[in-house]
Amino acid sequence: MLVSKCLQARDMAYCPYSRFPVGAAILTADGAIISGCNVENASYGLTVCAERTAIQRAVVEGHTQFTAIAVTCDIKDRFVGPCGACRQVLMEFGSDWTVYLTKPDGSYKKTSLNELLPLAFSPADLMKN
């Protein structure tokens, strides 16, 4: 279901400049699925990635604990992961995420956020002296 939702979200992407649609779907700790897509802007720096759109939507809906995310784009010949900024945003909500890197045909590679962002800076680092 998570993979299917990320593929559906990709189809909603607003990407007139890059023409690189991305979709993401997050599984919350209580079983809800929240999706997001990339939303570009003519001022390129204001573009928001699919993963961050999904996180922001989830937080607005009261979710801050997550177990998994599925991410997809239109690249067919390899699995593509979240950008560095999105990896850091995901880490804000814990390091124990399952990540499904998904191709357009629905095939996926299962990995983890810890694998994608080793030695990450996290909220716990702010508590150390």
Catalytically annotated residues: 51
* Token pair in block for residue 101: 């890197």
**What DSSP designation does 39 have?**
B
Element (H, E) at 23: strand 23-28
Residue 83 assigned ligand-binding role: yes
Strands 66-72 and 98-102: parallel
Residue 86 assigned ligand-binding role: yes
Residue 38 assigned ligand-binding role: yes
Residue 92 assigned ligand-binding role: no
Residue 14 assigned ligand-binding role: no
7 vs 88: CA distance, rounded Å: 23
Binding site feature residues for substrate: 38-44
Binding site feature residues for Zn(2+): 49, 83, 86
